[in-house]
Amino acid sequence: MSGSERILKAGAQADASYPRSAPRPGAAFDIEAIRRDFPILQQSVNGHPLVYLDNAATTQKPKAVVDALEHYYTRDNANIHRGVHELSQRATAAYEQAREKARSFVNARSTAEVLFVRSTTEAINLIAHSFGAARVSAGDEILLTRMEHHSNIVPWQMLCERQGARLQVAPVNDRGELILEDFERLLSPKTRLVSLVHLSNALGTVNPVKEIISLAHRRGVPVLLDGAQAAARIPIDVQDLDCDFYALSGHKLYGPTGIGILYGKSELLETMPPFLGGGDMISSVTFEKTLYNKLPNKFEAGTPHVAGAVGLGAAIDYVRGIGIEAIAAHEDELLRHATEAVSRVSGLRIIGTAREKAGILSFVMDGIHPHDIGTILDQQGIAIRAGHHCTQPLMEQFGVPATARASFGMYNTLAEVDALVDGLGKVREVFA
Ligand code: C6P
């Protein structure tokens, strides 16, 4: 039994009274009903109905999530795992119930393998520190790919500096696909870990992660997947993937900011030292020696983001109510339609044309800076992102400093894609 399961069983039962405005599993994909669940979408921006196409940066939150946060703060708020009083028992139960939802969402074997963290960024830093300290020495190698987000580059560079290890980087081709033969060639007896993105935030490429994991495991190398973009678009089954670590951020999964999930195989987490020291991660402390708590608490020092976990639990309920497969199919249709339509805009080049793509469309326009594209679209109420998307090495490969990026969510419509394409026509006119 994990530390948190023990605490929950000794304490209050999970509160069944949390608001449940999530749709029923299996309900038909009703885009208008979904849109009504997101209050923020019902507004005008710069005199136009808001068209929110910046979902890779962060998603909007359904009312179910906002209600769960309100319910928690107006009824249950207390510190967890500590108090004997009613509110603390309720808050603990709500937090651990959210952990069980997270476990089920990624299909981990046990809640002991599911850590709450702040974000994908924190999850990767945790592994770089903790796994890095236990398993990486001078001369060892960490294998990444060229399409990584800075969050999956910088922590490894910092680790390499600390330990005297080296980064290896697997290349991508001109479509933005990982070159598997090169990846395989770079797996060496010195490789201690492979860390790669499941779904690229800058290109939309979906990596063949199962194949990659099996290549790495044949050489005894564990694999961390950065699932920041995949979590809301691809069903995750960590047991089927057999990945060793999986990181995701709640705010990209229709949940709150400041909360994320790190899955890790218990046999690895058990052998890794804690990341942060403090309250809740110990079983006993003397000035001579500290004994650490069981998993997952060993990796959750201090008061966690209880409300964030509760909100993320509500987001998971909501997303599962709609169905990840249904969301993926809807976003595929939006992406297909958008790809065809923008291809007719003169002077527009799509960056990232992988055969396996999801949810994200990056592009540049001849002679127009992506920031200007973003600004002119904003004047029409259309929110996209322009920049390097924290993937500067990838931008360098494509010979651009930045791209414009439209990224889809479950509530976007084909009409919104058409509004984007019309908007790009106006961008062209302004710069004609
Ligand atoms: N990408 C975007 O593309 P945090 O900030 O920790 O929640 O997520 C970091 C992160 C890690 N990996 C990938 C693949 C990501 O896309 C992101 C965040 C955002 O707009 C912000 S740069």
Both 279 and 348 in one domain: the answer is no
Both 295 and 332 in one domain: the answer is no
Nearest CA to ligand 1 atom 20: 57
Is residue 81 included in any domain, yes or no?
no
Both 186 and 235 in one domain: the answer is yes
Predicted local distance difference test score (pLDDT) of residue 230:
98
For a ligand 1 pocket test, name from 390, 392, 395, 403 the mutation site with the most ligand atoms within 8 angstroms of its C-beta: 390
For a ligand 1 pocket test, name from 201, 206, 361 the mutation site with the most ligand atoms within 8 angstroms of its C-beta: 201
Report residues whose beta carbon is within 6 angstroms of any ligand 1 atom. Answer: 56-57, 119-121, 149, 151-152, 197, 201, 226, 228-229, 249, 385, 389-390
Both 96 and 136 in one domain: the answer is yes
Indicate which atom in ligand 1 lies nearest the CA of residue 122: 6
Per-residue pLDDT tens listing for the chain (432 residues) = 444 443 343 334 444 566 655 555 555 799 999 999 999 999 999 999 999 999 999 999 999 999 999 999 999 999 998 789 999 999 999 999 999 999 999 999 999 999 999 999 999 999 999 999 999 999 999 999 999 999 999 999 999 999 999 999 999 999 999 999 999 999 999 999 999 999 999 999 999 999 999 999 999 999 999 999 999 999 999 999 999 999 999 999 999 999 999 999 999 999 999 999 999 999 999 999 999 999 999 999 999 999 999 999 999 999 999 999 999 999 999 999 999 999 999 999 999 999 999 999 999 999 999 999 999 999 999 999 999 999 999 999 999 999 999 999 999 999 999 999 999 999 999 998
Cβ atoms 106, 11 nearer than 8 A: no
Whole-prediction pTM: 0.95
Is residue 38 included in any domain, yes or no?
no
Predicted local distance difference test score (pLDDT) of residue 1:
41
DSSP string, 177-223: -B-HHHHHHH--TTEEEEEEESB-TTT-BBP-HHHHHHHHHHTT--E
Tokens of 358: 């999801």
Domain boundary among 295, 320, 345: 320
Nearest CA to ligand 1 atom 16: 201
Predicted local distance difference test score (pLDDT) of residue 347:
95
Predicted local distance difference test score (pLDDT) of residue 2:
43
Both 315 and 335 in one domain: the answer is no
Predicted local distance difference test score (pLDDT) of residue 82:
79
**Pairing, β 290-292 against β 166-170:** unpaired
Domain count, the chain: 2
Spatial distance between the Cα atoms of 97 and 88, rounded to a whole number of angstroms = 14
In the reported structure, the alpha carbon of residue 149 is separated from the centroid of ligand 1 by a whole-number distance in angstroms of 7
In the reported structure, the alpha carbon of residue 58 is separated from the centroid of ligand 1 by a whole-number distance in angstroms of 9
Both 295 and 173 in one domain: the answer is yes
Both 209 and 94 in one domain: the answer is yes
Both 141 and 209 in one domain: the answer is yes
Is residue 103 included in any domain, yes or no?
yes
Buried-exposed string 55-72: b where 16+ CB fall within 10 A, e elsewhere: bbbbbbbbbbbbbbbebb
Domain boundary among 298, 320, 342: 320
For a ligand 1 pocket test, name from 224, 229, 253, 384 the mutation site with the most ligand atoms within 8 angstroms of its C-beta: 229
Predicted local distance difference test score (pLDDT) of residue 8:
40
Both 128 and 248 in one domain: the answer is yes
Is residue 28 included in any domain, yes or no?
no
Is residue 12 included in any domain, yes or no?
no
Both 331 and 225 in one domain: the answer is no
Catalytic site positions: 390
Predicted local distance difference test score (pLDDT) of residue 28:
72
What is the CATH classification number for the domain harbouring 146? 3.40.640.10
Is residue 39 included in any domain, yes or no?
no
Nearest to 205, CA basis, from 147, 157, 244, 159: 147
Both 139 and 279 in one domain: the answer is yes
Is residue 76 included in any domain, yes or no?
no
Give alpha helix (H) positions in 37-82. 63-71
20: amino acid identity, one letter:
R
Is residue 404 included in any domain, yes or no?
yes
Spatial distance between the Cα atoms of 359 and 56, rounded to a whole number of angstroms = 8
Domain boundary among 303, 320, 337: 320
Radius of gyration of the chain (CA): 22
Both 194 and 235 in one domain: the answer is yes
Predicted local distance difference test score (pLDDT) of residue 406:
98
What is the CATH classification number for the domain harbouring 391? 3.90.1150.10
Determine whether 123 is exposed, middle or buried from the number of CB atoms within 10 Å of its CB (0-12, 13-18, 19+).
buried
- For residue 402, the enclosing domain spans 324-430
